[in-house]
Structure 1
Amino acid sequence: MVRYQLIGMDLADVRFAVSPLNELVRSLRAVRDPGRFPLHLRWLHGLDEALGKLDSALLLALTNARLWTPDFLNPRPYSPLTRFDDELARIAATDPVTVQRDLRLVHGGAPLPAPLRGRPAPALARIVDALAEYWQRCFEPHWPRMRALLEGDVTFRGRQIAQHGLAAMFAGLASTVRLVDNVVEVQLHSKLNYTTPTTGGLTLVPTLWATTASTPISPDEPPMILYKARGVATLWEPQPLPSPDALSALLGATRAGLLIHLYTPTSSTELAARLGVTTTAVNQHLRALHVGGLLVSARHGRSVLYRRSDLGDALAAAQPPSPT
């Protein structure tokens, strides 16, 4: 069991944050053992081609059979608005001694997997490069959808505190978490057992890749509880694509729906994930709208982002949505 002693029971001692890097690293648990994460199978099915282009051996070596991940790859975030690039830069600056210590803790003192062996500094550089590539190919297109769910959870927990107090909020995180007097207790499946004061605050981090609450392995890490976010079961469900009747009659229901949807730049991969269709199918419609002058496109990294053109804006604005 891990125990965090709240200092003075001050609300300012408890904060919520969202970590794109935590989500990225913890998702490797689902890649390693899909059977434990059935709610993410739709996402996992779409990874086969991308994983073949990544350093999959190194990425999977960042977890063990118990699905632990190194503490240095799960840094405490400081805001619900944390940026992936900022977190990755923090990882790249990690002391190599810490890297080796955390990797050996995860792998129980056994020889490290081959992709992680060698001098710590080059090993860390390989890890950072592999994670950056994994983010670009497998995560970034879906991150806006993931982030919206995580931010929604943070809003819900804040409302719980306001209406019912800290104890009720902690009890709602997981059946293994409770507040007793001024101590937050987290019951774990592992043999971790330490008590530490929340000097500098206790950070609560919702995650899409958990079955129950977890904490850092080392008591030297900043106090943090990761817990399963609400609504994960709905994350990969196809979203409806409503469109005005008149615009549907002109363009067809799918293209009209895409035009209404593309008021902000979005990639075809993200659209396909949201709608539950193939990227090829979405691209056919996007190309037609682009050729017709209703969309403009711009390259962003490896992705092409589409949004409405001025003509598309005018056409969309002229058509009120259909009644629901």
Structure 2
Amino acid sequence: MPYHLHFGEADPLRIRFAISPLWETHSAVRVLARPAKQGYHLPWMRRIAGAARGLDLAPLHLLMPHRGHSPDSLYPPPLGPAASFDEEIAAVRATDPALALVDFERALAETPGAAESAEGRRMLADPAGAVERLADLLRAAWEALIEPDWPRLRALLEADVAHHSRRLAEGGLERLLGELHPAFDWAAETATLRVAYPGEHVRPLGGQGLVLVPSVFTWPDVVSGFDPPWQPTVAYPARGIGGLWSEPGGRTPEALARLLGPVRADVLCALDEPMGTTALAHLLGRAPSSVSSHLSVLRDAGLLSSRRYGHQVLYERTPLGIAVSQPDAK
């Protein structure tokens, strides 16, 4: 049975997107526990293999059953549209131990023998201490696995939000929810969002609205099932994951590099999704000032357009820029 999220009269007015570094950390840790789900992330897996070996992620993996409940208190819905990891992990550390205990009991029950293991018994005997230890592990995982690539990841996630925000403006809520992911099915007659996911979960939104969280490491799944008191939330795979870990220089046509210069051509070809100067500079391994100069030239030449999104300016290819950078595209 799919998940059913029932919208009330006020809920469509309270839909928001959010980006969560804590959620990406949690999802990346889960990927490490599921070798069959590496998929697009194999280049990342190879690069962080040494750092991952230096982390004892077993306590986190114990609370990540293959199917079923994971502790919402460890990975709560994002606090705002772009909270920092420090803000999110501080909220985790402030979890009521009684609430954490219920979460741990539910998650451990999903895996035979987990509650009786030494670590499981330790969590259940001292939930407050377990929250602190697990928060420390999440911070270590963030610093080792995600933070070095966060500008690149954040750029892709922000581009996804910008794209779907435009779709919402163009076609309304029904179009947005119908296009976010194949697992979504919007039933207008009952104002219900059905999410194809193993398990059974029915939740009236109750005026809280819905948080939509694009994610890199959630791929290929859509994740929901947050229970009260948490705000209803759905995490879904962001657009553009297929090219996330590829090197831009390898995608630059040689003729284009001769025409524009290799660096400027790399800048143009790297913009598969809208991106800001800092993220693009991180992706290309170049100084932001140099990338900014090339972006200005490409924009003045009509190959790029720019628009402000939140605290930064996002650049994307114009139809002419697409034609130039992808001459074989139909």
Q: Is TM more than 0.5 here?
A: yes
> Structure 1 stretches (4+) deviating beyond 6 angstroms?
263-266, 320-324
The correspondence of residues 105-184 of structure 1 with structure 2, limited to 5 A, is 105-108=106-109, 110-112=113-115, 113-116=117-120, 117-118=122-123, 119-180=126-187, 181=189, 183-184=191-192
Helix, strand or coil: the match of 2:73? Answer: helix
Secondary structure (helix, strand or coil) at the match of 2:109 reads coil
Say if 1:205 and 1:195 are closer, same or farther in 2 by CA, change over 3 A.
same
Aligned-partner residue type, residue 162 of structure 1: A
Amino acid aligned to 1:183: A
219, 222, 228: which one aligns with 2:231: 222
Flag the 1:10–1:106 CA change in 2: closer, same or farther, 3 A.
closer
Deviation digits for residues 150-198 of structure 1 (CA, Å, limit 9, x no counterpart): 1111111111111112111111122232222353323343222323234
Q: Distance in 2 between matches of 1:2 and 1:66?
A: 14
- The structural deviation recorded for 1:264 is 7.9
Identity of aligned residues (%): 28
Query: Using the alignment, how far apart are the partners of 2:228 and 2:199 within structure 1?
Result: 13
Taking a change above 3 Å as real, the CA distance of residues 72 and 90 of structure 1, as seen in their structure-2 partners, is same
Unpaired runs of at least 5, structure 2: 268-275, 304-323, 325-330
Name the structure 1 match of 2:91: 90
Sort the Cα spacing of 1:206 and 1:264 in 2 relative to 1 into closer, same or farther, 3 A. closer
Tell me the TM-score normalized by structure 1.
0.72
SS at match of 1:47: helix
Highest Rg: 1 or 2? 1
1:236 aligned residue (228, 238, 245): 245
1:9, distance to aligned residue in structure 2 (A): 5.8
How much does 1:145 deviate? 0.7
Partner of 1:293: none
Give the Cα–Cα distance (whole angstroms) in 2 for the partners of residues 186 and 212 of structure 1. 14
Q: How many Å separate the matches in 1 of 2:186 and 2:201?
A: 17
Could you tell me how far 1:76 is from its partner in structure 2?
Answer: 1.4
Cα distance in structure 2, aligned partners of 1:78 and 1:183: 26
- Unaligned runs of 5+ residues in structure 1 are 276-281, 287-305
Partner of 2:194: 186
Q: Deviations over 1:66-90 (max 9, x none)?
A: 3853211221114332111000000
1:169 partner SS:
helix
Instruction: Report SS of the residue matched to 1:73.
Output: coil
Q: What CA distance in whole angstroms lies between the structure 1 residues aligned with 2:11 and 2:232? A: 15
TM-score (norm 2): 0.71
Are the equivalent residues in 2 in contact too, given 1:149–1:231 (CA < 8 A)? yes
Q: Which residue of 2 aligns with 1:18?
A: 19
Aligned 8 A contact 2:12 2:209 in 1: no
Partner SS, residue 204 of structure 1: strand
Letter of the aligned partner of 2:134 in structure 1? I
